[in-house]
Structure 1
Amino acid sequence: MAGGATTAEHGERQQDTSGPPRRSGLLGRLGPRRPHAALVLALALLLLAGGALWLLYGSRWTHVERVSVSGTGVLTQAQVREAAEVPVGEPLVSVDTDAIESRLLRKLPRIDSVEVTRSWPHGIVLKVVERTPVLIVESTGNGGKYVEVDAKGVRFATVSEALRGVPVLELALSRTGSQAASLRRFGGDRLVREAVRVAGELPNAVARAVRTVKVGSYDSVSLELGDGRTVEWGSGERGGAKARALTALMKAAPGARHFDVSVPTAPASSGS
């Protein structure tokens, strides 16, 4: 008995010869199945991706069915839709919104800006901002029509009649003398922008009464009001100071017929 193995030692030898220890419980049951679980997960993700692609490109559920337009005033919604050329029936996700925006700005100059967005699952939304005319220019050689000019100096549309409440821009530019030099130096477009700049600086009460803005040169812009009074404004520079001087001058001399604020620190009035 003394030289024989004990029961405990016999059990240890049995464990030593049985190889790596076996996993037990939940860990043992899940271990051999890990490759199978990964395969199932990969197949599920593949099916999900395929389903998403089908939903976006193949399914009729996400194709363009309608085009909504907002913000129009002079333009009609039909005009905007026609110029936009939205590909109705195509997958919504593949619509090139930048191309639609470019087409609208190119085909309809009256549009100042436009926002093109997708409205899931079936729509394209066109939010339009139209240009607002601040001056109109009589179009020479075009049957007495007028060209609308916005606050950026952009000539964007031709109309058959002068718009009520919008001053007429008269370019009284001589081809000789100082006026010719001004025209050569600044160009007609720059002089138009100066007239727009002056119109934007006018006091509200005066702006509503202006009938004509005359531009003789860069330094010679004058105004004719609806009641026959006139204002010598000068250049478009120091517009804020000139507006304040004109407001004060009109209050101080309400019966005057002519006002000169070309030098705002020394305004003058005349006539009665």
Structure 2
Amino acid sequence: MARRPHAPTPRQGARRPAPAPTPRQSRSVPPLGTSAPAPPARSAPPAPQAHSAPSPTQAPRGRTVGRPDPSALRSSEPAAPAAGPEGGGRVVQASERFRELVAGRPWRRRRRAIIAGVLITVLVLVAAGVTAIFLPALQVQSITVEGAGYVQEQDIRAAASARAEGSVLLLATGAIAEDVAAIPGVESVEAERIWPDGVRVSITEAAPVGLLTKADGTTAVVDAGGQELPPAAGEGASLVPLLVAGGSADPEGAAAAMTDVMAGMPEPLRGAVQKVTASSRSDVMVALALEDGGSKTVVWGDARDAELKAEVVQALLGQPGTIIDVSSPVAPVTR
């Protein structure tokens, strides 16, 4: 009797193939005499669950750890601007911006008010200044002179009147002082306004120190700077005769050297000077009168080191001899 063939049994450990899925299962037919079971009620589809962001330690289901999620990349991209009616771009409500531009801001209004106030103030000041300049009450009417002695007042008024005109507000006091200072005998000047319609000119006259006799025989009163003064400056003054030697090759230099010596000489010694002579800038001779009635001649030399030479002369006045040579004050000689 022949054996039936048997299907081979799978080996232990071998994996059986999974049955192929069937698209639709066959509907079972109930046996006769039985009622057909009610079809199962269809359940509603499950609601989509909100995707929660996976935790950094747990990778989302269905993708490999370490690979970025495409949905996350899409969510990080900037949203495209909404298309306008014609596809021109995003529509922005600008009514608030236009309202601010039209209405203005409080600080802008305050700034306009401040600027307007400043402009009005400036205009008022300018108008007041222009009006004051042309007021008849502020026009210069008088010139007052103070400090004049041997300098004539009419000369000072004439020099000041060239610029002392117009409104007192525009008076050039510095220019007036410069014009008056050019008058011989005026050492310093101060000009100032006298409200409402005047100007005051105060002068200080130069002090005369000597009577200069020039090589041609003419004389002139001179001050310590060698400037010639008006003849009236010597009236009632004790002047030292300054003589330029006849035949001098440099009479102007000799006169300047003598006045410089007198200007640098201290007052106690200047009071004892009887006469000063010179023929050049470097050979000034000074004649001194002593208290005992005698006299001495000082070979002064040039006008340099006037203070040192005066101290040496005072120290040597009691020494014997009639001549003191201080042309080199560090090595004086008496004879």
- Alignment TM class, shorter chain as reference: 0.5 to 0.7
Q: Quick one: percent identity of the two aligned structures? A: 21
Instruction: Please state if 1:244 is matched with 2:306.
Output: no
* Offset of residue 209 of structure 1: 1.9
Alignment of 1:122-161 (within 5 A): 122-138=197-213, 146-159=219-232
Q: Is the 8 A contact 1:138 1:170 kept in 2?
A: yes
Instruction: Please state if 1:111 is matched with 2:178.
Output: no
Aligned-partner SS, 1:74 = coil
Instruction: Please state if 1:199 is matched with 2:262.
Output: yes
CA distance in 2 between partners of 1:166 and 1:124 (Å):
35
* Offset of residue 191 of structure 1: 1.9
Distance 1:188 1:46, change over 3 A: same
**Aligned match of 2:59:** none
Distance 1:20 1:213, change over 3 A: same
CA distance in 2 between partners of 1:229 and 1:191 (Å):
23
**Cα RMSD (Å) of the superposition?**
3.8
Q: Is the 8 A contact 2:188 2:205 kept in 1?
A: yes
* Offset of residue 58 of structure 1: 1.4
Question: What are the ranges of 5 or more consecutive residues in structure 1 without an aligned counterpart?
Answer: 1-16, 175-179
Alignment of 1:148-227 (within 5 A): 148-159=221-232, 164-174=237-247, 183=249, 187-226=250-289
CA distance in 1 between partners of 2:167 and 2:278 (Å):
53
Higher-Rg structure is 2
Alignment of 1:225-264 (within 5 A): 225-226=288-289, 229-236=295-302, 237-253=304-320, 257-264=322-329
CA distance in 2 between partners of 1:245 and 1:30 (Å):
82
Distance 1:233 1:239, change over 3 A: farther
Question: What are the ranges of 5 or more consecutive residues in structure 2 without an aligned counterpart?
Answer: 1-92
The one-character-per-residue Cα deviations of 1:107-148 (angstroms, maximum 9, x if unpaired) are x21112323233444332323122222222136778xx6312
Deviates more, 1:38-47 or 1:69-78: 38-47
CA distance in 2 between partners of 1:204 and 1:36 (Å):
71
1:84 alignment partner AA: A
1:136 alignment partner AA: L
The one-character-per-residue Cα deviations of 1:219-263 (angstroms, maximum 9, x if unpaired) are 32112235561323231233333212211111344xx54433334
Structure 2 residue corresponding to 1:73, chosen from 149, 156, 168: 149
Aligned-partner SS, 1:116 = strand
Deviates more, 1:150-159 or 1:204-213: 150-159
The aligned length equals 235
Aligned-partner SS, 2:184 = coil
User: After TM superposition, where is structure 1 displaced by more than 6 Å over at least 4 residues in a row?
Assistant: 27-37
1:200 alignment partner AA: A
Aligned-partner SS, 1:75 = coil
* Offset of residue 215 of structure 1: 0.6
* Offset of residue 166 of structure 1: 1.9
Q: TM-score, normalised by structure 2?
A: 0.57
Distance 1:124 1:171, change over 3 A: same
Higher relative contact order (CA 8 A, sep 6+): 1
CA distance in 2 between partners of 1:219 and 1:87 (Å):
44
Aligned-partner SS, 2:231 = strand
Aligned-partner SS, 1:112 = strand
Q: Is the 8 A contact 1:138 1:147 kept in 2?
A: yes
